[in-house]
Chain A
Amino acid sequence: MELNSFQQTAFEHQRPTIEKFGRKSWMWTIFFLVWIILGGYALYLQVAEGHIVTGMRDNVVWGLYIANFIFFIGISYAGAVISGILHILNVEWRKPIIRIAEMITVIATIIGPVFILLCVGRFDRLHHLILYPRLQSPITWDVLAISTYFTGSVIFLYLALIKDFAIYRDANLNVPKWRKKIYKALAIGYRGTPSQKKHISVSMNLMAIIIIPLAIIVHSVLSWIFGMTLRPGWHSTIFGPYFVLAAIYSGTGVLIMAMWVYRRMYKLYDYINDKHFIYLGYIMLVLAAGYGYFTFSEYLTDWFGSEKWNSEVIHKLFSFSEYGWWFLFANVAGIVLPIFIVAFPKTRKPGWIAIASFFMVIALWVKRYLIIVPTLESPLLPMQDTRLEYVKYSPTWVEWALTFAGIATFFLFFTLMSKFVTIIPISEFADKEKAKEKVAEKVINPESKVIPA
């Protein structure tokens, strides 16, 4: 594969990253593995002793695990929706950041459902979900939707990688033979002929179109697991769009954080520049406003209606002796902070935007926790066993260990993937001069067909 000068520069800049697994990378890998091993021990305890080692009981049956599940599926939106929309709109500045976005999607979609498995008490009956599915159950919808979404995300990421795999194959990289073989196999004979380019272009366009409604359906279905039940705080018609918006929002936050880390780690200042942070900051601002609107609307109607059970949940969320501080944090860090940071030019800088994203992402995680736990702590029927641990959920170290193991796995996958493929897509860059020539040609002769680079 021939590279233009811009592609050549971008590739040479990133070549050491994929050729060497440096000391820092090893240290990070070991650090993440320690967390994963701790999580493995916690899982062993959970399987050996049963769910009694968690804070979940027959009243509060969902806790950290389900909050993590929704959170990870939410951030997977970074690749699906953001990169899908930017692809369809053919936004030029998307090119250096789409790979990070798509990697977030695939990795988060792998890790999210693992938390469902951790929450399920009977591993031995798991296959019943496949053998005896009940199409009228939202749980079945969720299993089908997420597996379909995961397949789509992998295809989307792979399509964007084929051209780069061809570049790695032909670049005589200083990597082991097995890796060269993998690059060759994954490049599936791509040589950059016009018809091959067309196949990839058609496929990418199809995927970009289908992945957006698919992602919306997936998160709507996820919200319906709550929305379809007659529980206070859950049974809401706006839960579908509310979840979808929150997911895109948190996905944008994680994307900004990942961009910030990679830009510093691999010195990618020439490719991921301030403009990317500011543009994504604007997107984040709009989403924050939309998310704030949904939040206000959701709680205002519950509060105004004063329905007995809803009022009980609202009281828990507003009471500082219960979840008041968390609720306040979720709204300040999750809505107000990003809006203020992006709104003022003084703070509209990559570092500040990354900090706002960091707190916003945590706030969105807290929000998921607040959706699940206070509602389950407000049963519609009187409790028979009123021991404190049955009435009030409090996660144990086992759940925290598995939560951190999940986060560590997310980072570990990222570290490993960034050593296997370049973070900045090489093939996406057209030669600047050639691009100018093509634009000029298009102006002179509008009938000419411009083949995208």
Chain B
Amino acid sequence: MHLSLSNLLGLMILFWVPSRIIAQTDTSAKPEVKETTTYAPLITFVSIQKNDNSVDLKTSVKAKINGTLTSLPGLRIEFTIGADSIAKKLGEAITDSKGVAILNCKPDQLTADAEGKLNFNASFAGKDSLEAAKEIVAVKRARLEITPVKEDSLLTVKIKLVDLSTGAETPVPETDLGVFVNRMFSALKLGEGKTDETGEASVEIPNNLPGDAKGNITLLARLDDNEVYGNLEAAVTQQWGVPVSDEVKKLPRALWSPYPPMWMLITFVILMSAVWGHYIVIIVQLFRLRKEEPKTTS
């Protein structure tokens, strides 16, 4: 059977031209960006009252850009306290790569209003295509205390929540509190407790938590997203963990190990030597062939 070349070429083109060649929109085309497009930043603002009576003000700034909620780094956030007309500046912070800015306020910076509330403001003045934005948080002054207790081999922490908005320390009952331990990336929850009429709760701590080289672990008591007090946190470091050596141990077999296994190295050297050895022998043969060219015919 004889097929002409043009027939063969026709067949090839028919077959090779893919039906899905235009299946996907060419993403190389740049989207049309209107110069007047502006984005409204979304500020998530929380206050965290610490057991040293300071307050961390934390904002997370994002904006919906091309349909995706994107964190906005490098923005200057101004923090103030009090109503708009009498607001007192607390300080400024720049958002990091995750769009988070944190400002720590000392107790002497904090002024409560007539109801004993702290009115915090976080505002962004606007920049380039980002509009100005503002967020407010109003919380009552309170403190969370954490006390480690060791009875025989039983480890517990006592936590106490007190209201400070009236100037006196008033216990806060019937409130759920969480106890956590700091781990490498975030806090690990160990348990929960509900405060009694004295504002106290108790949570048992496991005795086998990995600690640092000395066995230290940092325990946290937290009240999260309370509608009256916002967020509260208290921390204490205890030598209650199992010491974990920070010495670098020999890595297990893994792709990221710095050196290949010995057997692999030996196999590699044998195989490559065998093949390249053959090549060298052949190249030597070719040199000898060239040398042996009869002079009369050259």
Contacts and interface: CB of A to CB of B under 8 A. Distances in A.
A196 B292 contact: yes
A407 to B, nearest CB: 8
A49 B282 contact: no
A137 B275 contact: no
User: Residue among B5, B15, B285 with the most chain A CB within 10 A?
Assistant: B285
Contact of A389 (B27, B274, B282, B292): B27
A398 interface: yes
A435 interface: no
Nearest to B17: A400
B87 interface: no
B285 A55 contact: no
Contacts of A45: 28
Contacts of A155: 279, 282-283
Interface in A252-310: 261, 264-265
A159 B297 contact: no
B289 A144 contact: no
A196 B289 contact: yes
Nearest to A46: B28
A265 B281 contact: no
Contact of A265 (B5, B268, B293): B5
Contact of A395 (B3, B18, B272): B18
Contacts of A189: 289-290, 292-293, 298
Contacts, number: 116
A398 B282 CA distance: 43
A203 B23 contact: no
B2 A264 contact: yes
A355 B265 CA distance: 46
Interface stretch (B185-193, B204-212, B253-261): B253-261
Contact of B272 (A144, A199, A265): A144
A419 B261 CA distance: 49
Given A210-B278, A261-B5, A395-B18, A55 B24 contact: yes
A217 B255 CA distance: 21
B275 A355 contact: no
Interface string A211-222: 000100100000
A188 B289 contact: yes
Contacts of B270: none
Interface stretch (A110-118, A173-181, A344-352): A344-352
B260 A396 contact: no
A362 B1 CA distance: 21
B1 A350 contact: yes
Interface string B22-48: 111111100000000000000000000
Main secondary structure of the interface of A (DSSP, over half): helix
A320 interface: no
Given A53-B26, A210-B275, A135 B268 contact: yes
Interface string A39-77: 000000100010011010000000000000000000000
Contacts of B255: 136-137
Contacts of A207: 278, 282
A206 B3 contact: no
Contacts of A261: 5, 8
Nearest to B30: A49
A400 B18 contact: yes
A404 B271 contact: no
A76 to B, nearest CB: 16
A202 B282 CA distance: 8
B154 interface: no
A445 to B, nearest CB: 28
Nearest to B4: A264
A152 B275 contact: yes
Contacts of A217: 271
Contacts of A265: 5
Contacts of B132: none
Given A52-B27, A264-B5, A350-B1, A206 B282 contact: yes
A358 interface: yes
Interface of B: 1-3, 5, 8, 11-12, 15-16, 18, 20-28, 255, 257, 259-261, 264-265, 268, 271-272, 274-276, 278-279, 281-283, 285-286, 288-290, 292-294, 297-298
In order of increasing CB-CB distance, the 6 nearest A-B pairs are: A351-B1, A189-B293, A394-B24, A53-B28, A135-B260, A136-B260
Given A135-B264, A188-B290, 5 more contacts: A52-B27, A53-B26, A354-B3, A362-B16, A395-B20
14 contacts: A148-B272, A148-B276, A155-B282, A162-B289, A199-B285, A199-B286, A199-B289, A351-B1, A352-B1, A362-B16, A389-B25, A394-B24, A395-B18, A397-B21
